[in-house]
Amino acid sequence: MKSGGNLEAVLVAGHFAVTGELGPPRGSNVDAVRKKAAPLKGMVDAVNITDNQTAVVRMSSWATSLICIQEGLEPNYQMVCRDRNRLAMQADILGASALGIRNMLALSGDHQSFGDHPKCKGVFDIDSIQLINMVKTMRDESKFLSGEAIDGPPRLFIGAAANPFGEPFEFRVHRLAKKVAAGADFIQTQCIYNMEKFGRFIDMANDMGLTQKVHILAGITPLKSLPMAKYMATSVPGMDVPEALIKRIEGVDKKKRADEGIKIACEQIQELREMKGVAGIHLMAIEWEHKVPEIVERAGLLPRPKVAPPPPQPPAGEA
Amino acid sequence: MIVASRKSLDEILGLLGSCKKVLVLGCGGCTSICLAGGQREVRDLCAELDARVRDHGGGLTLHELTIERQCNETFFADADALVKDYEAVLSTACGAGVQFVAERHPALPVLPALNTAFVGFDKGVGWYEENCRTCGDCVLGETGGICPVTRCAKSLFNGPCGGTRSEGTCEVDKTVPCAWFEIHKRLKGQGRLALITKVRPAREWENQTRRSVIQEPYKARYAKP
Ligand code: SF4
């Protein structure tokens, strides 16, 4: 075991994994975190804690991760390249691991121009693929990016993102391959609405042998309403929402649209479970955390597997 | 070429403060080529300043002089001779030129009339686009002649990010091509995609402290004894 965390144990045991997502509050409001965490407990194998998502300042992802640990939820600590240079990143990685965080997700991050400080200086000292490789080197070789030795390497299960729908489509699987080569243990994809296109992406990943090397969790975000569906279709760069899906939501009574969104998500999950190369789902119920129990229940994903934690391993370098 | 654009008249007047006699020093180099700080732009600037000051009671004496370049001492004979008669120099050179003048005349306020914007090329007359961040470690040979440091909004070395739009434009601005979409397209056309399918490791940034360059044949000339 690389991390000793629950998500890794679930995936290694071959279970169909479920991860959730929790956006930290815009303040130091601990209760807000607890309130969002409560419905996720026992419903997901780990929960992503976003890092200044959409470039808007929020409670830091590592601090929110720690609150989740207190609440009995395993965090997947997200880290973006926009806000930190390699010194700050390595320091936070060590700190996160020291305090019991066992998963992290390496991301480029939304550009600062989208956020609440649009003219701030974006760091981008290293990119997400270089970050993946840096964490892997820290963990497996007990070395900093500088090559110097680490006293007690971090124990982290390394995640990366993939967007099968960004252009150029044909290169996306190669970028996935780069993330695997850099050291990603698991992948969480962008929200999937175009199942046919995602199927083609996974086929390519299967053909290239990538799904043998990395656990791919397919991104699901239930559409809450018609405006949300339209927003996703038109305003989120790199998102692909087929017209038919929007029509389907439009076609039901306004009061039943949220339910229809969940129904669609459940159908997608069923389809994904059958898909070779898909190891689980990443359920991003944006500002809809309290609906997660209902969604996972209706999708037949309960109860979540209880995998006995493996015996603790001595850190690399001491064995 | 170095591209610059003029500051607002208000900002320039603010910089001039109470100075009454000002030498407006144009540059015949890059800022002249990009139509921001050559002879003609100096003339226009002085006319605008004159008109504005006249409206407020006058009293500002401006002298126009444009020299070949403000970043090399061989072009300074005329300017050096004039400077002593003025309270300040208003330079329309790039940031380097302004500093060069300031270093020659440390007792005098040397003020910038321009904002130095970037290193770029011409898109049309009076229209320029940034293409080089002078990062000091050029990767263009492996990126199809398209600079990811300058043209990718996140300066990614292993792009594209997840935000590329369906029309191949950047997540930040739907009218701007995604650098990595373009890199992919060009290298594909050249049959050289292998250049971007391997992980490019973290780079050492060469532009974090002030740099100087001495070309190889001149190393001996400037060697410290
Ligand atoms: S969309 Fe393209 S140019 Fe824009 S930040 Fe992403 S990779 Fe860079």
Question: A149-159, pLDDT tens digit by residue?
Answer: 999 999 999 99
Q: In which band, very low, low, confident or very high, does the pLDDT at B56 lie, cut at 50, 70 and 90?
A: confident
Query: What is the average pLDDT across A56-67?
Result: 98
| Ligand 1: nearest atom to the Cα of B172 | 4
Quick one: pLDDT at residue A309?
Answer: 63
Residue A280 tokens, joined: 């689980």
- Output the domain CATH number for residue A62: 3.20.20.220
Quick one: pLDDT at residue B59?
Answer: 86
Q: Would you say residue A196 has pLDDT above 90?
A: yes
Task: Count CB pairs under 8 A between chains A and B.
Answer: 100
Is the backbone peptide bond immediately before B160 cis, with ω within 30 degrees of 0? Answer: yes
Q: Would you say residue B93 has pLDDT above 50?
A: yes
Q: Hey, is the C-beta of B176 within 8 angstroms of any chain A C-beta? A: no
Domain for residue A306, yes or no?
Answer: no
Q: Hey, is the C-beta of B156 within 8 angstroms of any chain A C-beta? A: yes
- Angle value at C-alpha B153, between B151 and B155, nearest 5 degrees: 75
Residue ranges of alpha helices (H) inside A208-311 are 210-213, 226-235, 243-250, 257-274, 292-298
Domain for residue A266, yes or no?
Answer: yes
Question: With contact defined as beta carbons under 8 Å apart, do B45 and B25 qualify?
Answer: no
Half-sphere exposure of A296 (CA within 13 A, CB side): 28
Q: Which of A78, A81, A129 to mutate to test the interface with B (most CBs of B within 10 A)?
A: A129
Average pLDDT, chain B: 96
Q: In which band, very low, low, confident or very high, does the pLDDT at B222 lie, cut at 50, 70 and 90?
A: very high
By DSSP bridging, strand A186-191 and strand A75-80 are unpaired
Domain for residue A316, yes or no?
Answer: no
Q: Which of A128-132, A169-173, B55-59, B220-224 has the lowest mean pLDDT?
A: B55-59
Query: What is the average pLDDT across A258-272?
Result: 97
Residues of B in contact with A113 (CB under 8 A): 153, 172
Q: In which band, very low, low, confident or very high, does the pLDDT at B58 lie, cut at 50, 70 and 90?
A: confident
Helix and strand element counts for chain A (H, E): 12, 8
Domain boundaries, chain B: 2-118, 134-196
From residue B50, alpha-carbon distances to B22, B56, B62, B110 in Å are 12, 10, 8, 19
Domain count, chain A: 1
- Residue-number span of the structural domain to which A226 is assigned: 6-298
Residue B58 tokens, joined: 């006058």
Which residues lie below 8 Å from residue A286, measured CB to CB, with a gap of 6+? Answer: A21, A23, A221
Complex ipTM value: 0.93
Query: What is the average pLDDT across B35-59?
Result: 93
- Taking each helix axis from N to C end, the angle separating A257-274 and A243-250, rounded to the nearest 10 degrees, works out to 140
Average pLDDT, chain A: 95
Nearest residue (CA) to ligand 1, atom 8: B152
Q: In which band, very low, low, confident or very high, does the pLDDT at B123 lie, cut at 50, 70 and 90?
A: very high
Quick one: pLDDT at residue A319?
Answer: 41
CA–centroid distance, A112 to ligand 1, in Å, is 12
Quick one: pLDDT at residue B65?
Answer: 98
Q: In which band, very low, low, confident or very high, does the pLDDT at A308 lie, cut at 50, 70 and 90?
A: confident
Residues of A in contact with B158 (CB under 8 A): 127-130, 175, 178
- Residue B166 and residue A110: Cβ atoms within 8 Å? no
Quick one: pLDDT at residue B54?
Answer: 87
Sheet containing B114-124, strands listed edge to edge, beginning at the edge strand earlier in sequence? B2-6, B114-124, B127-132
- Residue B165 and residue A238: Cβ atoms within 8 Å? yes
Which residue among B164, B173, B174 is best mutated to probe the pocket of ligand 1, counting the most ligand atoms within 8 A of its Cβ?
A: B164
Q: Hey, is the C-beta of B198 within 8 angstroms of any chain A C-beta? A: yes
CA–centroid distance, B160 to ligand 1, in Å, is 6
Q: Which of B172, B181, B200 sits opposite A168 (nearest CB)?
A: B181
Spatial distance between the Cα atoms of B95 and B114, rounded to a whole number of angstroms: 8
CATH code linked to domain B2-118: 3.40.50.2300
- Residue B163 and residue A111: Cβ atoms within 8 Å? yes
Which residues lie below 8 Å from residue B111, measured CB to CB, with a gap of 6+? Answer: B12, B15, B16, B88, B89, B90, B91, B98
- Residue A110 and residue B198: Cβ atoms within 8 Å? no
CB atoms inside a 10 Å sphere around CB B221: 8
Which residue among B130, B171, B196 is best mutated to probe the pocket of ligand 1, counting the most ligand atoms within 8 A of its Cβ?
A: B171
pLDDT in tens, B126-182: 999 999 999 999 999 999 999 999 999 999 999 999 999 999 999 999 999 999 999
In degrees rounded to 5, what are phi and psi of residue B45? -60, -45
Query: What is the average pLDDT across A29-58?
Result: 97
| Ligand 1: nearest atom to the Cα of B163 | 1
Q: Would you say residue A318 has pLDDT above 50?
A: no
Q: Would you say residue A310 has pLDDT above 70?
A: no
Q: How far is B165 from chain A (nearest CA, A)?
A: 5
Report the SS3 class of residue A195. Answer: helix
| Ligand 1: nearest atom to the Cα of A238 | 1
Counting Cβ atoms within 10 Å, is residue A273 exposed (0-12), middle (13-18) or buried (19+)?
middle
Closest-CA residue of chain A to B181:
A168
